Structure 1
């Protein structure tokens, strides 16, 4: 828990609105640094070109590697201290590591039960074929040599969760509390994805109205997703769960409900969609019970008062 319990609460109350302003400004600066790092390279090539992706890997990995320094500086200016070391606050710890790998990913797969069912029905491979491919080293060699796959499945999930969840939530929780932080943190994440609009306009890949509509949809989707991974981070106190869920969601994409409605076996698929959503909400709190991951989670020790989100 927080150092000497009431000591943290007293300091936070004394800091008042100054703590909140400093927390928000720190998060905003961190978000701008992350997005800005994508544009330090001048290029006339589109974002999916391998050369552009490699350059952006360099800059974004540097910013992400330095992002814990923002938390260190924030702690120095606010004098917020906890018994948990910095890496534990960022969700990098061994306690509860195995459940943090399995349970959040399982919960996310339950939510995607409908799309997974549709994928299984339409897949030409048998189960054994799929297992054989997954165990084939050549398959993974091809994946890791594909810059777009590496970006979508590894680099983006790891760096975005580190910056927008692991570094921002410890700065927001002492000011706003766990619940408000869950819904505040994704706003930085959603706004950060607006930079895609610049490239769509630059290369004229759609009409202006289409680009703006896409931006609004993407902001909404990423904000909801960001709230979900923020919830997982606070409940589990681990970075690995949000990273794996992010990678899985990037692979699955937004559920293709329109194609499900037109599918020959749509009754089974739509039933799976509904069952997945129901099971997801039933399992949301049980599978993220902090007792599985080491109670209380380090980020919860920063809260100025107790919260149901931080309890079993």
Structure 2
């Protein structure tokens, strides 16, 4: 399939992105039998796997109606080794603090156990969080939306505009919690508002990586890793009983953030990845 070029007006580009976001989230609720089941129920997970798989096939096909074929022969490989290695470095320094905490708590040892990986690959929740969600969400919210937004708004503004669709889409978790009686409306709203802020910030970072590298694998790798690590456990660090260890953990968080800021631009240089599509 030839690369596509999109030249839409701003209003239409935003409407299409909104439509894509609604369709993606809406596909999760087409199963009538899942209304009273948790999102972590095996039946719900399997059916949603089917839904997002269909959406990830249909949306790119529908987008062909709004673009024109490009004569560019610049075809990119999804499995690009330098990019994967670069992402390992970036995410490791950014999460230096949480990784150090894992080491101090001894959590890292489970990653050395083959049984952990075999059991994980049999766990539907693990597969959802580490494989299906990162691939499907990055395809829809980055690979499909950014090519529509960048020609209209430019790369810089698109980095901050695109994540809004991603962040707002996560509000559907609040509806599930309230309907199923697992949380009061006020509590669910507060939790979802925090998640909105967190996912929007992550979405901006993910969009930045996509535009800088020009590769789909970049946001997928970092998305899977962030899903695994979760939000940094700052409270656990500050409550650590050993003062010396607590100071070392705080230092690792600061050092990780500084190293990440220093390495982000050099490691994601478009020149390294032969990215001549986007300018950011």
Scaled by the length of structure 2, the TM-score of the pair is 0.91
Conserved? CA contact 1:104–1:232, under 8 Å: no
Query: What is the Cα deviation at residue 210 of structure 1?
Result: 1.2
Out of 21, 27, 33, which is 2:17 matched to? 27
**Residues 1:291 and 1:54: Cα distance change in structure 2 (over 3 Å):** same
Could you say which residue in structure 2 is the equivalent of 1:106? 89
Kindly report the root-mean-square deviation, in angstroms, between the aligned alpha carbons of the 2 structures: 2.1
For residues 49-87 of structure 1, give each alpha carbon's deviation from its aligned partner in whole angstroms, at most 9, with x where no partner exists: 011100110011110122212331221xxx5x54446x9
Whether 1:73 and 2:65 are equivalent positions in the alignment is: yes
> 2: distance between equivalents of 1:125 and 1:266?
18
Do the aligned residues in 2 keep the contact of 1:95 with 1:293 (CA within 8 Å)?
Answer: no
Indicate how the Cα distance of structure 1 residues 99 and 213 shifts in structure 2: closer, same or farther if over 3 A, else same.
Answer: same
Of 282-291 and 199-208, the range deviating more from structure 2: 199-208
Query: Contact 1:169 / 1:181 at 8 angstroms: preserved in 2?
Result: yes
Is 2:140 the partner of 1:157? no
**What is the CA deviation profile of residues 128-148 of structure 1, one whole-angstrom value per residue up to 9, with x for unaligned ones?**
x743x2xx3x54332121110
Does residue 194 of structure 2 align to residue 202 of structure 1? no
Q: Structure 1 unaligned runs (5+)?
A: 13-17, 301-306
Counterparts in 2 of 1:106 and 1:209: CA distance versus 1, 3 Å: same
State the SS of the aligned residue for 1:230: helix
Q: Is the 8 A contact 1:71 1:171 kept in 2?
A: no
- Corresponding position of 2:219: 242
1:94, distance to aligned residue in structure 2 (A): 2.1
Q: Distance in 2 between matches of 1:130 and 1:221?
A: 26
| 1:191 paired residue number | 168
For 2:127, what is the secondary structure of its paired residue?
A: helix
CA contact 1:96–1:292 (8 Å) conserved in 2: no
Structure 2: give runs of 5+ residues left out of the alignment.
Answer: none
CA distance in 2 between partners of 1:96 and 1:192 (Å):
28
Q: Would the alpha carbon gap of residues 295 and 56 (structure 1) be closer, same or farther in structure 2, given more than 3 Å must change?
A: closer
Going from structure 1 to structure 2, the CA distance change for 1:281 and 1:145 (only over 3 Å counts) comes to same
Whole-angstrom distance in 1 between the partners of 2:81 and 2:119: 28
Cα distance, 1:262 vs structure 2: 1.0
The answer to whether the 8 Å contact 2:78/2:216 transfers is no
Deviation at 1:98, TM superposition (A): 1.3
TM-aligned CA deviation for residue 95 of structure 1:
8.4
Do the aligned partners of 1:96 and 1:293 also contact (CA within 8 Å) in 2?
Answer: no
Determine which of 137, 141, 146 is the counterpart of 1:169: 146
Q: Which residue among 253, 256, 261 is the counterpart of 2:233?
A: 256
Q: Does 1:52 align with 2:35?
A: no
